[in-house]
Structure 1
Amino acid sequence: MKEHVPWFTRVSKPAPPRGLDGVSGSARQQVGGEWHWDWGIPLVYRALQAPYTGSSMPIAPSHQTVDEDAVGYWNALHHVLTYSLGWARHDWGLRWWYDSGKPTNDPRLALVDAIWESDGLLNRYLGWAHDKPGHTSGVFGSRGDDSDDAERWSGTIVTEREVGSGGDSPWGKHLEGHWSGPLDGDPERRLSLDRDSRRAVLMCESASGWTTALREAGGSLPVHRNSAWRIDVVVKPIGFLGTYRKSWQTGIWFAGGHELHSRGN
């Protein structure tokens, strides 16, 4: 039987919902940050849960696309690598992916391949991430330098370095300052748990601060030396984000397989 191939409907940046100015607290509750940067984030998680239904994803920006339309495209990629895969070094993770033949056996990798790689723009993001190795330090702290790059990536892929600040480039989009929404806030939350299976469900009322809520909720659970808690994270304005657990190696909460998580750390 032929493997299903994910497909998506591509959309431009919509105007903020009526009554939201794109910056206010109500906008942050909906998408986790300022509308211009974070409008694409809910689309990512919905596409991951329904990859064969034509879910909406941001359209590829052109060089002429204004920044306000383009930043949502780049920030959506930035977000899934950071808060779903739990990668502190996006350049290390993407270099491994290129060197491994771009596997799509994980839904996040399949999404990256179907959108940013298929658009021919992922290599530009890789170049940007390579030039800013400390851009995740506000989330994860320092994660090393480039001294072992030759060992981490032995392939011949050449990253596209700075190519100007047009819409089709991540440079100049202030991504470093507009992707911390999951950390910024203290959402109302509910935690339900099953101690026998070490499974839990975290329900957050707001998209702003959900990662902080996850860390705090996870830190409140009883520790078991041989078994990690798995927490299903649901953010009401967005939906189901994934099943998260804390890596015993990196100390980072992530969704999916640990081997893939480790590639970007």
Structure 2
Amino acid sequence: MTTSGYATQRHAVLITGGSDGIGLGLARRYIERGDRVIVTGRREERLTAAATSVPGLETYVNDIGSPEAREALTAYIATTMPELDTVINNAGVQRRVPLASDDEPWSAARAEIEILLDGPIHLNRLLIPQLLSRGRGSLIVDVTSGGAYMPQTFAPIYSASKAALHSYTVNLRWALADTTIGVAELIPPAVATALAGTEDRHGADVDEFCDAVFPLLDGDHDEVGFGFTASGAFRSLLSLQHELFEASAGRSAVSRYRESTCAECTSARIR
């Protein structure tokens, strides 16, 4: 990564899906360290509860599954947090519906894909010019899942969306390699959150997970895992993927982001 000076900066952080679970856990740790944090969520009452539990936390009601809402969020950040240097795409939902028994309207699956895949790709595209215009170290964190690498039969659309987000994140890191923006992939295993919309939570303790991964979101780690996603076998898989990707990426003449051109583009867009 080329996030020069990032680790020593006071950060301005945007976390989508930050009213509870992993998002709120990371927000709490940034706040405790003295950073500024805005979290988003769809439900105002949950955001209010989050702000009460974490003094200093800022909130913004937003549906990351809506293109118009993502554009509104970008405009809000440009005026409210122009010093933004950290974006954590954490918003998620998980429909636990096996393929053979999925008789819900397509709109249900489409909404899941919008939140898990369309949301982070579009939001990154909107915010990258603002990050580049600062000319300082910045970090984008895309939250995927162990299910991106080991498909979950009980949540096939979720697994497929996270696998696609992983692929996109690898490409985004390559595209931004000549800039001051680093790209990290946070890869949780099962963590005991309300991701699936039920009270039947299972997996690693949220605080244990956040305590372990938070220090590694420092701009120096391409992938951050926990439990089996931090195991030697899993790291070997990631290393093989890196090797194959680098060999393939060099075969085509593909343009990348550049600091100067994007900064000029952002300046014109914000005025």
Same fold (TM over 0.5): no
Task: Identify the structure with the greater helix proportion.
Answer: 2
TM-score, normalised to structure 2's length? 0.28
